[in-house]
C-alpha cells in the first residue's frame, strides 16, 4: 500500500481504505452488516502486516482505531435508520397504492350497483311522464320521483368526481362546441329552477366571444351548472346574471374566456371565501327545500384548474356574490367541426324512407331491458333481446343487427368479451356496438372503447342520449314534436304578488294570513278562490304557491303588508284537535309524500317547510301529533322539540322524529329532547301510519286517564271533607256515650244487677272500638295528605312482617331473603310501611321468573346519613328509562309479563319526598334492581 499515490498516509491508509467498505456494507446490509465490517476492519489492521511493520504501533494508532470504530458504528446506525425509512416509505407507498386500488374497485362497484336501479327509476318515470293519459297529480308525483332520482345521481357523480380528482385519474376530454348553442342549453336547463323561485335570469354574451371553441364541454357545463345552482339556491328574490366574454387573445387560435355568475342572494363573509371551495364544506344558512353535499364548488375549482384556469369570487353579506373564472380555449372557424348538442324535442316517430333498423339489446337486468324496449319499440325498430354475452353473440350470428346495445357486466359472458367476439368477424366489424354501463371511472371507459365498442352511454341514461347515439352511429332520422315550456306562473308575476295583494281589502288579507299561520291548506285555497273573484290571475298565482306549500313566502309578504302578528284570532290560542297532524320537513318531496299518506288515511295535515313556521303555527293551534324532521335550516328539529317541551301549553304534544339520520347518537338525542318515537328515511307508508295511530291512541288514553284522574282527585277531596265531617260528628257523641256510660257505672253500680252492668260495659267497649276505628280512618286519610306522625320505626321488623305476609299469600314460592338487623328510621310508620310494602312487593313480583330468587333489605352509611336499600336479582330494567321509573302510570315492563298499576313507585317517591329524603334505583336487564332511599 505504500507504493500507492496515497502512500504518504503510510500506516494510516486503512482508515481511508476501510471507511468506504464499512459504509457500503451498512447502506446495503443495515447496522448488523456495518458492525461486522467494522469488527473485521479492526481485526485486519490489528493482525495483518503485509510489510512486516504492524499497523498498530503506538498509542496514537490505537486511539485512531477507537475513533474509526466509533465513526463506523455511527455510520452504521445512520445507514440503518435510512434503510428503515426507505422500507417504511416503500411499504407506505405499496399500502397507498393498494388502498387506492381498493378505493377504485369500491367506487366502481358502488357506481354500478347504484346506477343500475337508478336507470330503471329515472327511465320509467320519464317514460310515464310522456304519457297523455296521466293526471296532474300523477305527473307531479312522477316529477318528484324523477327529481329525487336525479339528485341521488348527482350525489353519486360528485363523490366519484372528487375521488377521481384526488386519485389523479381525471383527464381532459376536449370537443368542439358552438358557444351560442352551448350557453342556450345551459339557460334552458336552469330556466325551470329560476321560474320556480321567481328569479329573473339574464345571459350576457360579449360581441368578441368566439362562435366555435375546442374545450372540455362536459366539465365546463358542470362548472356553470354548479355555480348557477348555488346562485338560485341562495337567492330568494332578485336576479341572477351569467356573463361570458373573451378577455385575452393568447394567439390566433387561442383565447381566454371569462365566465361570471352574479346573484343578489345572501352573500358570503370574506372569512369563508377560501373555505367554501373545500370538499364537504358548507357555510351560511341552508335554505328550506334545498339540499347539498358541499362538493359542488370543490369540484368546480378542480375542473377549472384542470382546464388551465382559476376560479374566484367577490361577495358581500346581504348583497349577493359574483363567482368568476377564466379558461384558455382553442378557437375554430368551421361550424362543421362542432359536435352535436342535445335536442330538447320529443321524438314521436321515425322519418319515412329509412330501412327497418334491427337493434339487439344485451342486458341481464329485466327492468333495464324492458325500459330500452319500451323506449324504442313504439317508434318502429325491430328489437331482440339477450340476457348475457354468449346469447348476444349467438343472436348476432343468426340475425345480424345494425346496432347492439351492450351491457358490460353480465353473467356467463360479459359484454367486453362478447364485443371482442362480434368485432372479430367480418360482419361484426361493420356493426355498431354501443356500451350501456353503470361503470363510471375513466379507466373503465378506455377499456370499453379498446374492446371494440363504438360508443358508451352511462347509466342511468335518458331517451335523448339513446336517440342521439342512433343518429350518430346509424344516421337515423326522427320526427320531432317541439316541446313547450310550462305556462304556469312567470317570474315577473311572482314578483308582482305583493303589489297585487296590497290592492285587496284588509279583511280578505287577514283571513288569508290567519289560514297561512295555522298551515290550513284547504282554507288557504278557499281564500284564493275568493281572491279570484276580485283578481283572477292573482288567485291562480296564489293557488299555485299554496299547492307548492310556499306558505313561508306568502307569510313574509303578508307580514310586511299587515305587520307582525297584527290581528286577533277567531279561534282559541291553543285548540287541540284529535286528528290534526303537523308535518315539518324542509324537503318538499318528503313533505308532500307524508301529507298524501296521512290525508289518505283520514287525517287533517298541516305541512310546514321549516321549524320557524311550525313553531309559529303551534302557538295558534296545537295539533294532536307532530312528525318532525331533524336536519332543517335556521331551527333544526331537535331545537323545535326543545322549545315545544319547554312550553307548558305544548309540552304534552307527542313528537315523532322522522329523519334520514340513522346513527345511534342522533336517535338518542331525539329521545333525550322529548321525542316519543323515531322513523328512519326511507320509510314505508304502513310504518308511518302504524306509529302515528299507536301514539294518537295512546294520547287519547292518556287524556282520558288525566280526565279520570282529575275526577278522582275531586272525589277524593270531597271524600276527605266528608271523612273529617263524619269523624267530627261521630266522635263527639261517642265521647259522650263513653263518658255517660262510665258515670253510670261509677254512680249507680250498686243499683244495677249483673246483666245491667254487663250491658253498660259492652256498650262502653263497643264505643271505644268504634272510636279507634274512626281514628284509624283519619290516619289513613292523613297518609298522603295529612301531616306526618314521625316516630322511631324498626324497619327490620316491619320488612320481616311484610315478607312473611307475602310468603303466606304464595306459599308455593321459595324466595330467599336477607334483612339486615336493627334497621331504624324516624318517620311516619304508616307511610313507611306503605313504602316498604311497595318496594318489597315489587322485588317479590319481579323475581317471579328467576330460578333462585333472592331479596335483600339493607343499609349503608354515607356522608349524609344512612342509605336504605331493597334489592333483588329479578327482571331489572334498562337504565336509559330510569327517568320514567317514578312517574305515575309509567311502566318499564309489558303488562302481560308483570301485572301492576304503575303507581306504586310513584307513591313510594312521594312518601320519601314527604320525609325530606330522596330515592333512586340502579338496575340491569335480567340481573335485578336495587332501590335506594334516605329518610333524614
Domain end (from 683, 699, 718): 683
User: What does the alpha-carbon distance between residue 463 and residue 662 come to, in Å, rounded to a whole number?
Assistant: 36
Dmax over CA atoms of the chain, in Å, equals 163
Question: What pLDDT, in 10s, does the model give residues 146-156?
Answer: 666 666 666 66
Q: What is the CATH number of the domain that holds 900?
A: 3.30.565.10
Pairing of β 403-407 and β 358-362:
parallel
Sign of CA dihedral 862, 864, 869, 873: negative
User: What does the alpha-carbon distance between residue 511 and residue 568 come to, in Å, rounded to a whole number?
Assistant: 11
| Residue 174 CB burial class (10 angstroms; 0-12, 13-18, ≥19) | middle
Q: Does residue 387 belong to any structural domain of this protein?
A: yes
Enumerate residues 6+ apart whose C-beta is below 8 A from 197. 232, 235, 236, 494
pLDDT band at residue 27 using 50, 70 and 90 as cut-offs: low
pTM of this structure:
0.51
| Residue 794 CB burial class (10 angstroms; 0-12, 13-18, ≥19) | middle
The three grid cell numbers given for residue 547, joined into one nine-digit string: 299547492
Question: What pLDDT, in 10s, does the model give residues 66-88?
Answer: 777 777 777 777 777 777 888 88
Question: What pLDDT, in 10s, does the model give residues 291-322?
Answer: 555 677 888 888 888 888 999 999 888 888 99
Residue 340 has pLDDT above 60, yes or no: no
Domain end (from 560, 593, 610): 560
Tell me which of 255 and 48 has the higher pLDDT.
255
Q: Does residue 259 belong to any structural domain of this protein?
A: yes
Q: Are residues 92 and 145 both part of a single domain?
A: no
Domain with 655 in it? 580-683
User: What does the alpha-carbon distance between residue 386 and residue 391 come to, in Å, rounded to a whole number?
Assistant: 6
> In the beta sheet, which residues pair with residue 246?
257
Q: Are residues 145 and 156 both part of a single domain?
A: yes
Q: Are residues 186 and 306 both part of a single domain?
A: yes
The three grid cell numbers given for residue 787, joined into one nine-digit string: 301531616
For residue 142, what are the CA distances in angstroms to 6, 127, 550, 598? 92, 10, 20, 19
> What is the average per-residue pLDDT within 850-863?
90
Mean pLDDT lowest for which of 235-239, 427-431, 563-567, 765-769? 563-567
Tell me which of 266 and 9 has the higher pLDDT.
266
Q: Are residues 262 and 224 both part of a single domain?
A: yes
Q: Are residues 107 and 87 both part of a single domain?
A: no
Residue 772 has pLDDT above 60, yes or no: no
193-198 contacts at long range (C-beta below 8 A, 24 or more positions apart): 193/229, 193/232, 194/232, 194/240, 194/491, 195/488, 195/489, 195/490, 195/491, 196/548, 197/232, 197/235, 197/236, 197/494, 198/237, 198/489, 198/491, 198/494, 198/495
Q: Are residues 194 and 315 both part of a single domain?
A: yes
Number of domains in the chain: 7
State the alpha helices, DSSP H only, in 4-58: 13-47
Q: Does residue 604 belong to any structural domain of this protein?
A: yes
pLDDT band at residue 856 using 50, 70 and 90 as cut-offs: very high
Tell me which of 837 and 754 has the higher pLDDT.
837
Q: Does residue 487 belong to any structural domain of this protein?
A: no
Q: Are residues 150 and 231 both part of a single domain?
A: no
Amino acid at each position: 500500500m505504500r507504493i500507492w499515490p496515497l502512500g504518504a498516509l503510510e500506516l494510516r491508509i486503512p482508515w481511508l481504505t476501510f471507511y468506504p467498505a464499512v459504509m457500503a456494507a451498512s447502506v446495503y446490509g443495515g447496522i448488523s452488516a456495518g458492525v461486522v465490517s467494522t469488527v473485521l476492519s479492526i481485526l485486519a489492521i490489528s493482525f495483518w502486516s503485509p510489510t512486516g511493520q504492524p499497523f498498530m504501533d503506538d498509542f496514537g494508532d490505537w486511539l485512531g482505531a477507537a475513533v474509526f470504530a466509533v465513526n463506523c458504528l455511527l455510520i452504521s446506525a445512520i445507514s440503518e435508520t435510512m434503510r428503515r425509512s426507505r422500507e417504511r416509505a416503500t411499504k407506505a407507498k405499496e399500502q397507498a397504492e393498494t388502498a387506492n386500488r381498493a378505493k377504485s374497485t369500491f367506487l366502481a362497484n358502488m357506481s354500478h350497483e347504484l346506477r343500475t336501479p337508478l336507470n330503471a327509476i329515472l327511465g320509467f318515470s320519464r317514460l310515464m311522464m310522456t304519457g297523455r293519459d296521466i293526471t296532474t297529480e300523477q305527473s307531479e308525483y312522477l316529477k318528484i320521483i324523477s327529481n329525487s332520482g336525479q339528485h341521488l345521481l348527482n350525489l353519486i357523480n360528485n363523490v366519484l368526481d372528487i375521488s377521481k380528482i384526488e386519485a389523479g385519474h381525471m383527464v381532459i376530454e376536449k370537443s368542439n362546441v358552438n358557444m351560442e348553442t352551448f350557453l342556450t342549453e345551459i339557460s334552458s336547463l336552469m330556466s325551470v329552477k329560476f321560474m320556480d323561485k321567481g328569479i329573473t335570469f339574464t345571459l350576457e354574451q360579449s360581441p368578441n366571444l368566439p362562435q366555435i371553441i375546442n374545450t372540455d364541454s362536459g366539465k365546463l357545463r358542470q362548472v356553470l351548472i354548479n355555480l348557477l345552482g348555488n346562485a338560485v339556491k341562495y337567492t330568494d328574490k332578485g336576479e341572477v346574471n351569467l356573463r361570458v366574454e373573451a378577455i385575452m387573445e393568447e394567439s390566433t387560435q387561442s383565447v381566454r374566456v371569462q365566465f361570471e355568475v352574479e346573484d343578489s342572494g345572501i352573500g358570503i363573509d370574506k372569512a369563508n371565501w377560501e373555505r367554501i371551495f373545500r370538499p364537504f364544506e358548507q357555510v351560511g344558512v341552508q335554505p328550506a327545500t334545498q339540499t347539498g353535499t358541499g362538493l359542488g364548488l370543490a369540484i368546480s375549482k378542480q375542473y377549472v384548474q384542470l382546464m388551465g384556469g382559476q376560479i374566484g369570487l367577490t361577495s358581500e353579506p346581504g348583497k349577493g356574490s359574483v363567482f368568476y373564472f377564466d379558461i384558455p380555449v382553442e378557437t375554430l372557424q368551421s361550424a362543421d367541426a362542432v359536435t352535436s348538442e342535445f335536442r330538447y324535442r320529443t321524438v314521436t316517430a321515425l322519418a319515412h324512407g329509412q330501412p327497418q333498423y334491427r337493434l339487439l339489446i344485451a342486458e341481464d337486468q329485466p327492468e333495464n331491458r324492458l325500459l330500452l324496449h319500451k323506449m324504442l319499440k313504439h317508434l318502429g325498430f325491430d328489437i331482440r333481446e339477450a340476457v348475457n354475452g354468449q346469447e348476444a353473440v349467438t343472436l348476432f350470428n343468426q340475425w345480424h343487427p345494425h346496432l347492439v346495445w351492450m351491457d358490460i357486466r353480465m353473467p356467463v359472458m360479459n359484454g367486453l368479451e362478447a364485443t371482442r367476439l362480434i368485432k372479430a368477424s367480418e360482419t361484426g366489424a361493420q356493426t355498431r356496438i354501443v356500451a350501456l354501463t353503470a361503470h363510471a371511472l375513466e379507466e373503465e371507459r378506455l377499456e370499453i372503447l379498446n374492446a371494440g365498442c363504438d360508443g358508451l352511454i352511462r347509466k342511468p341514461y335518458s331517451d335523448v342520449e339513446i336517440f342521439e347515439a342512433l343518429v350518430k352511429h346509424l344516421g337515423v332520422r326522427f320526427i320531432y314534436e317541439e316541446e313547450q315550456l310550462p305556462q304556469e306562473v312567470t317570474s315577473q308575476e311572482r314578483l308582482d304578488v305583493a303589489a297585487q295583494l296590497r290592492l285587496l281589502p284588509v279583511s280578505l288579507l287577514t283571513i288569508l294570513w290567519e289560514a297561512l299561520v295555522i298551515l290550513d291548506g284547504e282554507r288557504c285555497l278557499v281564500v284564493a278562490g275568493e281572491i279570484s273573484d276580485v283578481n283572477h290571475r292573482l288567485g291562480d298565482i296564489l293557488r299555485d304557491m299554496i299547492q307548492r306549500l310556499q306558505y313561508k313566502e306568502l307569510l313574509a309578504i303578508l307580514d310586511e303588508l299587515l305587520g307582525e302578528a297584527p290581528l286577533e284570532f277567531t279561534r282559541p290560542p291553543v285548540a287541540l284537535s284529535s286528528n290534526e297532524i303537523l308535518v315539518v320537513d324542509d324537503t318538499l318531496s318528503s313533505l308532500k309524500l307524508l301529507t298524501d299518506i296521512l290525508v289518505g288515511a283520514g287525517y287533517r295535515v298541516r305541512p310546514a317547510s321549516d321549524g320557524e313556521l311550525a313553531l309559529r303555527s303551534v302557538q295558534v293551534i296545537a295539533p294532536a301529533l307532530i312528525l318532525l324532521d331533524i336536519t332543517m335550516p335556521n331551527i333544526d328539529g331537535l331545537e323545535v322539540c326543545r322549545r315545544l317541551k319547554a312550553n307548558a301549553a305544548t309540552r304534552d304534544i307527542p313528537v315523532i322524529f322522522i329523519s334520514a339520520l340513522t346513527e345511534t347518537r342522533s336517535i338518542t338525542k331525539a329521545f333525550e329532547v322529548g321525542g316519543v318515537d323515531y322513523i328512519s328515511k326511507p320509510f314505508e307508508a304502513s310504518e308511518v301510519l302504524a306509529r302515528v295511530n299507536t301514539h294518537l291512541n295512546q294520547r287519547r288514553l292518556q287524556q282520558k286517564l288525566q280526565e279520570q284522574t282529575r275526577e278522582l282527585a275531586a272525589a277524593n277531596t270531597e271524600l276527605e271533607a266528608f271523612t273529617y265531617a263524619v269523624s267530627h260528628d261521630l266522635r263527639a257523641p261517642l265521647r259522650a256515650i263513653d263518658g255517660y256510660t262510665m258515670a253510670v257505672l261509677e254512680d249507680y253500680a250498686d243499683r244495677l244487677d249483673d246483666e245491667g252492668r254487663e250491658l253498660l260495659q259492652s256498650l262502653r267497649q263497643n264505643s271505644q272500638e268504634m272510636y279507634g276505628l274512626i281514628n284509624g280512618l283519619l290516619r289513613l286519610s292523613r297518609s298522603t295528605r295529612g301531616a306526618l306522625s314521625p316516630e322511631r320505626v324498626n324497619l327490620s321488623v316491619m320488612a320481616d312482617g311484610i315478607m312473611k305476609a307475602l310468603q303466606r299469600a304464595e306459599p308455593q314460592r321459595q324466595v330467599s331473603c336477607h334483612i339486615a338487623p336493627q334497621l331504624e328510621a324516624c318517620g311516619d310508620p304508616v307511610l313507611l310501611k306503605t313504602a316498604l310494602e311497595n318496594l318489597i312487593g315489587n322485588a317479590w313480583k319481579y323475581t317471579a321468573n328467576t330460578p333462585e330468587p333472592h331479596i335483600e333489605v339493607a343499609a349503608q352509611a354515607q356522608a349524609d346519613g344512612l342509605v336504605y336499600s331493597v334489592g333483588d336479582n329479578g327482571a331489572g330494567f334498562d337504565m336509559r328509562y330510569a327517568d320514567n321509573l317514578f312517574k305515575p302510570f309509567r311502566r318499564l315492563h309489558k303488562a302481560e309479563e308483570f301485572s301492576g298499576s304503575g303507581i306504586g313507585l310513584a307513591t313510594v317517591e312521594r312518601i320519601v319526598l314527604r320525609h325530606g329524603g330522596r330515592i333512586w334505583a340502579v338496575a340491569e336487564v335480567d340481573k335485578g334492581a336495587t332501590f335506594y332511599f334516605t329518610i333524614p
